[in-house]
Amino acid sequence: MKVLVAEPISDEAVELMKKEGIEVDIKTDLSKEELISIIKDYEGLIVRSQIKVDKEILEAAKNLKIIGRAGVGVDNIDVETATQKGIVVVNAPGGNTISTAEHAIALMFAAARKIPQADRSLKEGKWDRKKFVGIELRGKTVGVIGLGRIGFEVAKRCKALEMNVIAYDPYVPAERAEKIGVKLVDFETLLRESDIITLHVPKTKETAGMIGKKEIEKMKDKVMIINAARGGLIDEVALYEALKSGKVYAVGIDVYEKEPPSPDNPLIKHENAITTPHIAASTEEAQLSVGMIVAEDIIRFAKGYPVNNAVNLPPIPQAEFEFIMPYVTLAEKMGKIAAARLGGVIRRVKVTARGKLADKNLEFITRAFLKGLLEDIVGKELNLISAKPVAIERGISIEESRIEVVEHYESLLEVNVISDGREMYLAGTCFGKEYRILKIDVYNVNFVPKGHYIISLHEDKPGVIGRVGTLFGKNNINIAGMIVGRCGEKPGGVQLMLLLVDDPPTKEVLEDMVKLDGIIDATYVYL
């Protein structure tokens, strides 16, 4: 696998990937045009927060399979388009938590005590002790917006500084906050009661612009605002105006609406704005950690193992992955059979896991079935990531069901597919790594689906199988195996025939087969 490292990551991470046989190119100063022109040569791309991996780049990335974000925020990556294209996006959650939390605290101290201004003044040869009177943090109320990993660590550190900590986060339970002596409050209360407000939320549709003129007006006079989370959470113009008027005492800002910000951005130039160039995660420790986390996932991906931190796939523990893997293969093959046998537009897919399989993660199994089902229509680029969004886009309703009871087997995988034309049922099971299809519609089959198959319905009467044998013999196609499934015990009616052949039949052979007396239909599928 060939990986492009497009933003600086730790040397250790690069070495680790190389040691595991990954070809790594480091090109960290590419323009967007340069990146577009070379990205087709890579299966892996590693970035941090500065490169915008947008639709244009993804369109050019013909061979890209995985994007590693050596950091937490993925708002610089068009994850939706990546998912549509079947590209896994992994990040490094947790790797830079402490560094970012410490930076937020550092900005708080720097803003409260005017440290950068005092430093500048001294460097200019001045000795001005009166100008740099600051405020203590102790006893102040700090409002933490977002009590996720980073917000939590910031809150803990603020507690250690003897601050009164309140937090707003609609997604965390009150117990998480109470555990560290933090009171969860609503947004309005936080705005009203905080002396210092620090943001620790990702930039999403809900959080973008969450602090604007209106919100600032509700804050205490001389409030301090810290943002080491994401640019765009705070309206920079409103923030500047509030700094200018004195409503806001000082700000500590590491992230900007546009990065790098324009050198004329008045916010950055304001005396009481402590600004840093998005360096909250730029510590030796954090970079080693995020680099290694992403490198490990790239290596896992290259080896065909499940990745640990996919943003667009559910996480699966290794032991569970080993259990479900044969079912993933089986499901894909079932999808191929359904695609070959069903006509019309597919409307609905229902995946049922019975027995031990019922308490496992079905996401990969369902996706694998959809892949097998749609691959011939959509193309070979369809994979476990893109299969589901593509199916949803095509209006297929997808359902998963779990039933603990199962007869005869430890686990059973069943799939019902409904198309405009008809409904199909498939069932199968796995024994360790071996997978078997047990039923196609009402017919018992029990076979390991591997190779070239002809699946056919025929009338249950003498001579039909002989005629099929003669036709294949005449066309020099060796029949390596045959299963004939009768529906019920009694002769007569319709039977299913499954032929395993050494070579794929031509269209003409299949047409001739359907013309044989007693044959109802015949479809070829490679499993």
Residue number with CB closer to ligand 3PG (160 or 279): 279
Q: Which of 282, 308, 383, 475: binder of ligand 3PG (CB under 6 A)? A: 282
As annotated, the active-site residues are 230, 259, 278
For the record, the structure tokens of 183 come out as: 């009171």
Task: Kindly identify the residues of this chain, within the stretch 249-278, that bind ligand 3PG according to CB under 6 A.
Answer: 278
Question: Rounded CA gap, 318 and 315, in Å?
Answer: 10
Binding mask 80-119 for ligand 3PG (x = CB under 6 A): ----------------x-----------------------
Residue number with CB closer to ligand 3PG (26 or 118): 26
Q: How far is the CB of 281 from ligand 3PG (least distance, A)?
A: 4
Helix, strand counts (H, E) of the chain: 18, 22
Question: Rounded CA gap, 169 and 157, in Å?
Answer: 18
Q: Which of 72, 150, 211, 349: binder of ligand 3PG (CB under 6 A)? A: 72
Q: How far is the CB of 277 from ligand 3PG (least distance, A)?
A: 10
Residues binding ligand 3PG: what is the number (CB under 6 A)? Answer: 11
Task: Kindly identify the residues of this chain, within the stretch 32-71, that bind ligand 3PG according to CB under 6 A.
Answer: 48-50, 70-71
Question: Rounded CA gap, 439 and 382, in Å?
Answer: 26
Question: Rounded CA gap, 415 and 440, in Å?
Answer: 10
Q: Compute the Cα dihedral for 438, 441, 443, 448 and give only its sign.
A: negative
Q: Which of 30, 38, 55, 73: binder of ligand 3PG (CB under 6 A)? A: 73
Residue 225's CB is within 10 A of a number of other CB atoms, namely 26
Q: How far is the CB of 248 from ligand 3PG (least distance, A)?
A: 23
Q: How far is the CB of 47 from ligand 3PG (least distance, A)?
A: 8
3-state secondary structure of 482: strand
Residue number with CB closer to ligand 3PG (61 or 281): 281
Q: How far is the CB of 227 from ligand 3PG (least distance, A)?
A: 11
Residue number with CB closer to ligand 3PG (65 or 278): 278
Query: What is the DSSP pairing of strand 423-431 with strand 411-419?
Result: antiparallel
| Residue 295 binds ligand 3PG (CB under 6 A) | no
Residue number with CB closer to ligand 3PG (94 or 209): 94
The conformation of residue 441, written as its DSSP 8-state character, comes to T
Question: Rounded CA gap, 358 and 433, in Å?
Answer: 18
Question: Rounded CA gap, 314 and 363, in Å?
Answer: 7
Residue number with CB closer to ligand 3PG (219 or 281): 281
Strand segments, DSSP code E, in 326-448 are 346-355, 397-403, 411-419, 423-431, 434-440, 443-447
The conformation of residue 98, written as its DSSP 8-state character, comes to H
Q: How far is the CB of 290 from ligand 3PG (least distance, A)?
A: 7
Query: What is the DSSP pairing of strand 66-69 with strand 44-47?
Result: parallel
| Residue 281 binds ligand 3PG (CB under 6 A) | yes
Task: Kindly identify the residues of this chain, within the stretch 130-189, that bind ligand 3PG according to CB under 6 A.
Answer: none
447 has which bridge partners? 437
Residue number with CB closer to ligand 3PG (96 or 164): 96
| Closest C-alpha to 441, from 324, 334, 517 | 334
Closest CB to ligand 3PG belongs to which residue? 71
- Applying CB under 6 A, the residues found at the interface with ligand 3PG are 48-50, 70-73, 96, 278, 281-282
